[in-house]
Amino acid sequence: MTPIGIFDSGYGGLTILDGIRHQLPQYDYLYLGDNARAPYGSRSFDVVYEFTRQAVEKLFSMGCQLVILGCNTASAKALRSIQQNDLPRWNSPGSPLYNPSAATRRVLGVIRPTAEVIGQLTRSRHVGLLATEGTVRSQSYQLEIHKLSPDVQVSGVACPLWVPIIEAGEASSPGADYFVKKRIDQLMALDPLIDTIILGCTHYPLLMPKIVKYAPQGVRLVPQGDYVASSLRDYFARHSEIEQRCSRNATVRYLTTENPDRFQETAQYFLSTPITAEHVDL
């Protein structure tokens, strides 16, 4: 079996997995959450890179040919280093991971697919970003968007309490309103011309009802799951050598570095069906 690997520091990548499975249900998937070491948002570049590299290596060792970093922080702080430094080594003879029939392993992120559509979505050319501290500080969205749409201005605000609120099961509670409104107001104060807001953390779709409530009328909200899924489908069309190696039994296997029971319980906030998880060490 050759599943598509999806990695996240915790649970947020489940929204990416859900979006991908909605459009591409036929493939097998292997989800890995590094919950024992989450959150990644406030960690340094070096630490995020090392943790992400370990997870990707684990997924490759379990048969994946393609790994998607379903985590914005990992995509911002680790993807480029893994693509430039680690993939050539893993795909070379002498590596414990080397397999002549699988020497085209790939790692993709979630920032580029979102950046690719922003130029088509914004009319004012002013875009907002709500994300973790690490993603905002990395300037990754600004860099990727400016490569494709140089005239688009991007303003970002970190939302440090949104992930804990979601993972505590409080996304729909009245107490969450204050923190959602505070960050949206802060973002719009930075640039009142913003007409499109990127939800730059894969947890944030769970706060969508409150984000819709407090975002100014007419502002478009951009969650990532559907765009990442569409981008993957396009990627497969361009890279048949990768697509053909992905097995098709419509299965999903869930791995976590934390307690599997706890993972299963919290995952219910992100997925509509109960799951069974397994513990794994990195």
201 is catalytic: yes
Residues 32/6, Cβ–Cβ less than 8 Å: yes
User: Residue 117, SS3?
Assistant: helix
Query: 44: which residues sit within 8 A by CB, 6+ positions away?
Result: none
Question: Taking a C-beta distance cutoff of 8 angstroms, is the pair 207, 237 a contact?
Answer: no
Catalytically annotated residue among 64, 71, 159, 246:
71
Residue whose C-alpha is closest to residue 233's, from 77, 4, 59, 1: 4
Measured distance CA(235)–CA(239) in Å, rounded: 6
Q: Which residues contact 275 (CB under 8 A, 6 or more apart)?
A: 252, 254, 264, 267, 268
Residue among 204, 120, 118 at smallest CA distance from 162: 204
CA dist 241 and 254 (Å) reads 26
- Which amino acid makes up residue 97? L
Catalytic residue among 64, 159, 201, 246: 201
* Three-class DSSP category at 278: strand
Token digits for 246? 């992905």
Identify the residue whose tokens are 């580029």: 112
Tokens 């990754």 -> residue:
140
Q: Is 64 a catalytic residue?
A: no
Determine contact, residues 2/59, Cβ cutoff 8 Å.
Answer: no
Please give the positions annotated as active site.
71, 201
